[in-house]
Amino acid sequence: MPVETAKLSGFCFGVKHAVTTAQNMLEDKASGKGSGDLVLLGELIHNEIVLKQLTDGGFIICNDASSVPEGSTVLIRAHGVPPSEKEILESKGCEIIDCTCPFVSKIQKIVAKAASEGKNIIVTGGKGHPEVLGICGQAEGFDVQVAVISSVEEIETIPFPLDNCILVSQTTFSAEVFANICAIIKNKIANNCIFDTICSTTENRQKEASSLACQSDVMLVIGSGNSSNTTKLFDLCKSRCDRTYLISDVDDARKILSEGRIRPGEKIGVTAGASTPEAIILEVVQTMNENDIKTNQVPEDASFAEALEQFVSVKRNTTVKGKITWADTDYVYVDVHDKSEGKIPIKEFDSDPDFDLDKAIAEQQEVSVFVKSIKNSDQGKEIILSKNAVDFETNKAAVKEAFDNKTPIDVKIISVVKDGIIGSYGGVDIYIHKSQIGLGSEEDLKSYVGQVMNIRVTKFDTEKHRLRISGSHKVIESDERKAKAEEIWNTIEEGKVYQGKVRSLPDFGAFIDIGGVDGLCHNSELSWKKIRKPSDVLKEGDIVEVYVKSFDRETKKISLGYKKPEDDPYYNIEERIPVGSTVKGTVVRLTDFGAFVQLEPDLDALCHVSQISSQRLEKPSDVLKVGQEVMAKVTKIQPDSRRISISIKEVAPIDPEIDESVADEAAPEAPEATDAPAEE
């Protein structure tokens, strides 16, 4: 019976690192290094066989730090722990070997930072799961709330407002459920507060398992029912393949065979959780291939690994697993458990810039490959392999699933073509017409090359044996904009403040997008000063804070304000410059009826011509000039009409200078003296 094993099966990096570290600790203890008890803080792995090996070797398992013996050497598993647990261990003088998975550590840091900033925390994951407890523990000691949800329905149970919180996820949470939760919750909290912290290995494991389940008659998921990632794999595969079975070891596999649940010739797909050792996976695969095994002559004393190599049969047009061993200028060589190595054209790796070939060779990385051809010659067997063929089929199935379910996917833009761009999803090309790039997208298509774009697959056509796939980022933006618009119209009120983006600047004002809806900010609401055009204040693309002045739900019109009351030169004017106070200012303009004096930037007061001098003036310019500093008394303030009156003469009148010669001529002559008596 044909058996295909998912390439992402078994130990993930975090679990493998923790198990290897534990085994090394046992070896050190056996050689006399170190002292004190060896402690696992919680079950290191959801696998009884591995746990028994570790406890038989000398480890003891403690479920919490308070029960750990003093002076122990404590291994923290990949799930991580809250800071309070580490503090207890340190107080007991324990040596801590921290094997927290890097992906989990990243989440813990995100939560700790957000909590220190006073933000509430939402975690998607299993309530009570050790990893989730460790994540939630990062908020201890801060005045914030934490909510754990595992479904879309539970969003309504979150006990705090969503306007000041972040969203993170357990690393092994369902990528599909997380995407559904994000689709709803991202309209309520800022995008930069949503962190997709699902482990990329977990997400890719789920995608591959989903694709394999769609192609299989029977699906076997190997792992423990206590493992979060294993149960999610099972649920995912079960939704794609009705005959999906969760098994823990080869005995369960034999039981399924003995009960006749698998018929001859049916295709069997095999995947495994992150806590499943490779030996168990290989043993299950061996059992499924039992009919083929009987045709091989294997020595009775051969090891399991040696026997397995005998069981592998490399055939044309099949998919097999092998380890990358070395490379030359033309090919990458793979050990596919045959007498001759297979080879992959090295150019296949050029299309995947994220693949580190040097690292793959150094670590003898395992890959799934398609056997394109097998040729026998005098020099031996030549096996031509293809990695792209396997990746392409897996990724094509994922793209088809995304098309069927209308699920967005991320693609990397690799080239520009006529009227559009090409995005790649693991080697599957997707055409995006320039009109579908985005709302108000740039015309320079080359600027998108190298970027990652979130799209929805809008066309998946295999007619005439030619694959044609199209996608659109614009529809995602449009849907998001509609959802945001609905949210705005449900919650809008006068005076409410929004952060918006300037979309256009007609002569009469600025249209500002406040999140799915455009509002108009008239020129008169842009500045307290008189402006000629809105570009005197704003430019397209500016992110600004505006408030609602008025709105009409029927006509869908919103009037916005940008200028702030506190920026008004007349704001609080009667308190800042009360009537009767003495002020200092600069003459900025002279008219026949008075002088305008600037008291503050954009704040002028009028001194009437009668209030300048103690003498009668024909015009202010007789004693004043522009730029001259004066002292004056505030005599009247009219905030509504935006007028201030001042008097210079009440402080220090400025009188015209008198020409003495002219004064002498104008003076009357004194009467001559006489001896005549005055009239009575």
Active-site residues, by number, are 131
The token pair that represents 142 in the structure block = 């801060």
CB 435 within 8 A of CB 474: yes
3 alpha-carbon distance from chain centroid: 38
Provide the strand spans (E) within 206-353. 218-222, 244-247, 268-272, 319-327, 331-335, 342-345
- The CA dihedral of 527, 530, 536, 537, to the nearest 10 degrees, is 0
Q: Which residues in 533-562 are b (16+ Cβ under 10 Å) and which e?
A: ebeebbeeeeebebbbbebeeeeeebbbbb
One-letter-per-residue 3-state SS of 216-240: CCEEEEECCCCCHHHHHHHHHHHHH
Task: Tell me how far the alpha carbon of residue 222 is from its chain's centroid.
Answer: 32
Sign of the torsion formed by the C-alpha atoms of 198, 200, 206 and 207: positive
Of 195, 10, 201, 15, which Cα lies nearest the Cα of 101? Answer: 15
Distance of CA 54 to the CA centre of its chain: 39
3 state SS of 445:
helix
Going by DSSP bridges, is the β-strand pair 268-272/218-222 parallel, antiparallel, or unpaired? parallel
| Beta strands at 73-76 and 95-98: parallel, antiparallel or unpaired | parallel
Local structure of residue 523 (DSSP, 8 states): G
Q: Which amino acid is at 97?
A: I
**Buried/exposed code over 139-174 (b: 16+ C-beta within 10 A; e: otherwise):** beebebebbbbbeeeebeebeeebeebbbbbbbbbb
The SS3 of residue 368 is strand
Q: Residues 248, 254, 258, 263: what is their CA dihedral angle, to the nearest 10 degrees?
A: 90
Report the 3 state secondary structure along 163-199.
Answer: CCEEEEECCCCCHHHHHHHHHHHCCCCCHHHECCCCC
- Of 75, 48, 45, nearest to 60 (Cα)? 75
Asked whether 474 and 490 are in contact (CB, 8 A), the reply is no
Half-sphere exposure for 151 (CA within 13 Å, toward CB): 3
How many other C-beta atoms lie within 10 A of the C-beta of residue 531? Answer: 13
Helix 228-240 with 200-215: angle, nearest 10 deg: 30
Residue of 85, 88, 91, 93 lying closest to 37 (CA atoms): 93
Three-class SS state of 325: strand
Cβ-proximal residues to 368 (8 Å cutoff; 6+ apart), any chain: 7, 319, 320, 321, 387, 390
